[in-house]
Structure 1
Amino acid sequence: MTASPALRDAARPFSPSAVTDLLPPRTRVLALGEPTHGVEAFLDLRNELFRHLVAEHGYRSIAVESDCLAALGIDAYLGGADGDLDTVVREGFGHGFGDFPGNRELVRWMREFNSGVAESERLRLYGADGPLEMTAAAPPGPSLLRLHEFLAAHLRPELLPPREELTRLHGPDARWTEPAAALDPARSVGRTDEAVQLRLLADELTTLLAASAPQLAGEAEPEKYWQAGLHARTATGLLRYHAAMAGAGPDRFNSLMRQRDLMMADNLDAIVRREAERGPTLVFAHNRHLQREAGRIRLGAHDLLWWSAGSLLATRLGDGYAFVATAFGHRGADDHPAPDTLEGLLATLPEPRLTVDPRLLAAATEGRAKARVPADHTYFGLDPEALELVDGVVFVREIPRQSGPFGG
C-alpha cells in the first residue's frame, strides 16, 4: 500500500526537536508513553529525547514507571554517592526494569552530567510508581515508621502515636506481601481490625506533616522533608491498596487499578511542584498510565475501566500537561498490524522512526482507521477516536519480539 500525501504530511522523521515542536508552550510535564515494556528502541528514544530536553529546554528531572522508594538509591548515586552502576540500576528500578541496557545508560549519562554542574543544576531521577509488583504490594510499615521518625525529630512527642503501637498493629512484613492475596482477597490483611486502625494512625501522621509544613519546611533538611512526604504518600497509598486487595466485590480489580494510578498521579504531582523552579519534568511510563482518557483492559472475565494517572494529572495541570504516545508497526516475524489500523497505515511510510502530528494524522485517516487488535496482552494500540487527546505520536516501524512477561 502506498501512503497518501496527507499521511506523509502528518509525519516527519523522528528527532527530539520534532517532538518539542508539537508541545504546548506552557508544558510543565512531558509524558512520554511506551506501548509495551521491555523494548530497547523506546528506551533509546526516551534517552535521546531527555538529553535534548536537558540541553535545550531546561529540564532537570525525569520520573519513570518504577518503585518510588527504590529510586531514592538511584538519585543518591546521581548526586555523587558511592556505588556500583550495575548494582544501583538493578536495585533501583522496580518491575525488573533494571535489567534493560537503556535504563543503565540513562543513569550512567545522568551521573556523568551531574559531575560537571552545580548542585542547583543537577539532574534528578524519580520513581513515579508505588512499591508494587504484579502479584504483591510492599508492606506499609517501613514508610510509616520513617514518617514517624521524621516527625518525632521535630514535633512534641505527645502529638504522635507511640512507635510501638505502629509496630504492633503492623506485625511481620510477610503478612502484607502474601502473593496469593493478588487473586484471593481472603488472603489479604488489608481490612483486618489492625489494618483499619493502622490506616487511621497513618492519616493522623500525614495530617501532622501537612499541618506542620511552615515549621518543618523552615527547619528540616530539604531532602529529609521531601522524603517524609514521599513516605507519607507511600504508607497511605499502600494501606488503601491493601484494603482494595482485601475487597471481595465485583469492582475489586478496578479498585486496584484506580489505587495504583492515583498513587502515580500523587507522586507526579508532588514531583512537579518540587521541580517547578528548576524546570519541566519528563515522565516515562506505559501509554495506558499516561493517556488523558480512561484506561481500559480486558482481564479474563473482567472489563476494567479506571481513570489513568495521566488523566488525573492533566485535570490538575491543565495545559501544563502534554502527552506523547509511542507505537510500533511490526513486532518480530509474526505480529503485523492490519493495513486499516493507524499502525498499519504509518508502516507504509519508509522511515524507521517518525514523529507524527496527531491532528494531521486524524484528518488523513478519518473514517478509514480502526484500532489495532493486539497479538497478545502486552500491547495496546493507538485509538483513532482518541487522537484529539494526544499532543504527539512517535512511531517505530519495526521492533523485535520481546521475551518474558513483556511479550513472550
Structure 2
Amino acid sequence: MSAQTRPFVRPIPAIDLTRPEFPDSAEVGALIGDARVIALGEGAHSISEFTAYGDALLRHLVQEHGVTAFVLESGFAEGLLIDEWIHGGPGELDDIARTGITYGFGESAQLKRQLAWLREWNAGGGDVRFYGMDLPGSSTSPGPAVQACLARIPARGSDDELRRVSDLGGRTEAAVAYASMTAEERDHLIAALRDLVLRVREAGDEVARRCADSIDAFLGELAWDGESGPYPREQYMARTVGWIAAREARILLYAHNGHVRRTPLDGRDMMGALLDREFGDDLRVIGMTFGTGPVVTFTPRSPRPFDCDVALGERGTVAGSIEETLEGQLDALGADTAFVDLALAPSGFFGGCEGMFSSGALEKVGDFPASFDALVHLRRVTAVPGAFARLRDELDAPERTATR
C-alpha cells in the first residue's frame, strides 16, 4: 500500500550513529506543537539506535524548540553529578557517566556523546539542565540518595553510621545484601531511612526533599504487597517530572515505552498515565519500536535476587503485535524506518494489534492512539556494544554471593 493511501506513515532516513541528526524534524515539530513535556519511549533498553534517536531529538529540541532540560530514566540523586558536570564541573566523562547514570546506561557511547554535547552547549552560552527521575541505586540501594540528602542538611553525629548501613553496593550486590539481612538489621535500616526522610522535610531544601522522596518510594517498593494502583516507583517518577516541569520551560523525557505510555499496563497506571492527568494537552508521547533485534532472556536459578542465567538472542515480530503491522508498512514503502502519526491512522489500522513487544513478551495495549501520539519504527536495531557482556559479568560477579 502506498504512502499516499497511508499518509500517517512516513518513511524517514535511518539514524547515523556517529552523527545524530533527527531525520524528520519538521514532522516532529508539527506533532509536539507547544507541548511543554515531550516523552520519548524506547522499546528496549541498551539499543544503540534508540539512544542515538534520543540524542538527535534532544539536540533538535534544544536548538529549535526551546527545551531547557533532559530527563532520563535514571536515579535522581545520581543525576545531580551529571548536571554539575555538563555545567563545567570536574571529572572525566567516562567516570561521570558511569557514576551519574544508573542501570548501567552510562556505558553507552551514544549517551556519553550526548552528555559531551550538553557540556559543550552550556559552555557556549546555553543552559540545559540534566535530571534523573528514578529511584536511587538502580532501584536496589538507597545509598546515593542518602549521601545527597546528608550533603544538604545540618549534620548529626549518627550520619556516618547511616552512610555505612545504607550503602548496599551495586545493583545486584545491593539486592543480595538486603535479602541477606536479618529482620533486625532490616528494621534498623528502614527506621534510619524514615528518620532521614523526616529530617529532610523539616530542613526545607527542595533538592534534598526530592532525594528523600526517592528514599520514601524505595521503601514503598520494598513494602509493596500487590495492592492496586500505580507502583511507588511510577508515582515517584511522575511527581519528579512534575517538579522538574515547574522549574523548566520545556523538557524532553526519555524512558522505556512501558513507563511513558498514557494508558494502563495490566490494569495499573504507569508514569505516563499519571503525567497525562497532570499535563493533558501539554504532553506528547512518542514511542520507538523495532522489527528485528537483540533480546535478553533471564532464567532463574534460585529464588535469590538476580540469581539467574542470562542469554542474548535475536527476536523478530510476533503475531498480534504493532511491530508486525508496522513491518508490513515498511515492506510496502520499501523503507527501513518510518515515522507513524497515530492520530491520523484509520481505526481499522489497529485491527488485530493486541500490544507491543517488551522484555521478551507481548505487552498489552488496548488503544494505541490513546497510548502514544506517534511511533518511530525501525526494521532492525543493534545492542549497545558491550552491554550484554557487562550484564552477564554483573550477574556472575563473586560479590553477588556475599552476605553482610
Could you state the TM-score of these two structures normalised by the residue count of structure 2? 0.76
| CA–CA distance in structure 2, aligned partners of residues 5 and 392 of structure 1 | 16
> What are structure 2's unaligned runs of at least 5 residues?
13-23, 295-312, 393-404
The question of 1:251 aligning with 2:226 is answered: yes
Evaluate the alpha carbon distance shift between residue 141 and residue 104 of structure 1 in structure 2; reply closer, same or farther with a 3 A threshold: closer
Instruction: Give 1:164's aligned amino acid.
Output: G
The equivalent residue for 1:393 is 375
Q: Does the aligned pair in 1 maintain the 2:46–2:383 contact within 8 Å?
A: no
The equivalent residue for 2:297 is none
The question of 1:9 aligning with 2:4 is answered: no
% identical equivalent positions: 24
- CA deviation after TM superposition for structure 1 residue 406, in Å: 10
The equivalent residue for 2:256 is 286
Q: Can you list the C-alpha shifts for 1:168-202, whole angstroms capped at 9, x where unaligned? A: 77873357985237668965856x37744752563
- CA deviation after TM superposition for structure 1 residue 324, in Å: 1.0
Task: Say how many residue pairs are matched.
Answer: 354
The question of 1:122 aligning with 2:127 is answered: yes
Match of 2:354 among 364, 370, 392: 370
Q: Does the aligned pair in 1 maintain the 2:221–2:231 contact within 8 Å?
A: no
**Greater CA deviation, 139-148 or 126-135?**
139-148
Q: Does the aligned pair in 2 maintain the 1:35–1:379 contact within 8 Å?
A: no
Aligned CA RMSD, in angstroms, stands at 3.4
- Superposed, 1:142-221 pairs within 5 Å as 142-149=147-154, 163-164=156-157, 172-174=165-167, 178-180=174-176, 192=187, 195-196=190-191, 199=194, 202-203=197-198, 205-209=200-204
Q: Secondary structure at the match of 1:236?
A: helix
The equivalent residue for 1:268 is 241
Instruction: Give 1:263's aligned amino acid.
Output: Y
Match of 1:330 among 266, 271, 292: 292
The question of 1:234 aligning with 2:204 is answered: no
The equivalent residue for 1:215 is none
| CA–CA distance in structure 1, aligned partners of residues 81 and 72 of structure 2 | 14
Instruction: Give 1:125's aligned amino acid.
Output: F
| CA–CA distance in structure 1, aligned partners of residues 95 and 164 of structure 2 | 30
| CA–CA distance in structure 2, aligned partners of residues 185 and 4 of structure 1 | 61
| CA–CA distance in structure 2, aligned partners of residues 81 and 166 of structure 1 | 26
Q: Secondary structure at the match of 1:295?
A: coil
- CA deviation after TM superposition for structure 1 residue 357, in Å: 1.0
| CA–CA distance in structure 1, aligned partners of residues 199 and 368 of structure 2 | 41
Could you state the TM-score of these two structures normalised by the residue count of structure 1? 0.75
Q: Does the aligned pair in 1 maintain the 2:134–2:237 contact within 8 Å?
A: yes
**Greater CA deviation, 344-353 or 194-203?**
194-203
- Superposed, 1:44-193 pairs within 5 Å as 44-117=52-125, 121-133=126-138, 135-138=140-143, 141-149=146-154, 163-164=156-157, 172-174=165-167, 178-180=174-176, 192=187
Evaluate the alpha carbon distance shift between residue 124 and residue 134 of structure 1 in structure 2; reply closer, same or farther with a 3 A threshold: closer
Q: Can you list the C-alpha shifts for 1:135-185, whole angstroms capped at 9, x where unaligned? A: 444365424423423xxxxxxxxxxxx823666778733579852376689
- CA deviation after TM superposition for structure 1 residue 106, in Å: 0.3
| CA–CA distance in structure 1, aligned partners of residues 146 and 101 of structure 2 | 21
Q: Secondary structure at the match of 1:323?
A: strand
Q: Can you list the C-alpha shifts for 1:211-269, whole angstroms capped at 9, x where unaligned? A: xxxxxxxxxxxxxxxxx322212223313422541x3x7428x78x7121222122211
Q: Secondary structure at the match of 1:8?
A: coil
The equivalent residue for 1:222 is none
